[in-house]
Amino acid sequence: MKKPSDKPNRTDFAITATIEESCMLQLLVETLAESRSNSNKRFKKVQLGWQAFRTSSIEARVSGAINLSGKQTVNTSFVTGFVFTCIQASKGKYDLTWSNSLS
């Protein structure tokens, strides 16, 4: 039986994910957030120094490609669900703030 090496066994590699139609996806998510909101409601008053905001979250299917590169390169496509959250910080449009993969 071989004795384990004291040297760390490391391999450098890079992971790149590309989302198809990302600009269109962002516009769609922000538009859906706007349409789901109740714009008749006023922002609640908050204590001095704080800012009230509204949030709207939407689940959407996203497709794209993942590239793993190192000693070998692997390309694969994906379709998965994401939750996108938009924030409206004051009167105006909702802005896409963050997203989370559901897989």
* pLDDT, averaged in runs of 10, over the chain (103 residues): 69 87 84 68 79 83 91 91 84 80 78
Judge whether 70 lies within some domain.
yes
Alpha carbon of 71 to those of 11, 18, 29, 65, 75: distances in Å? 8, 21, 38, 19, 13
Judge whether 60 lies within some domain.
yes
Judge whether 7 lies within some domain.
no
pLDDT of residue 66: 93
What is the C-alpha separation between 79 and 38, in angstroms, rounded?
Answer: 31
* CB-CB neighbours of 54 under 10 Å: 17
Residue 31: which domain range?
Answer: 14-37+51-101
Judge whether 57 lies within some domain.
yes
- Structurally, the chain folds into a number of domains equal to 1
pTM of the model: 0.62
At residue 34's C-alpha, the angle toward residues 30 and 40, to 5°, is: 160
Rounded to the nearest angstrom, the gap between the alpha carbon of residue 83 and the centroid of all alpha carbons in its chain is: 7
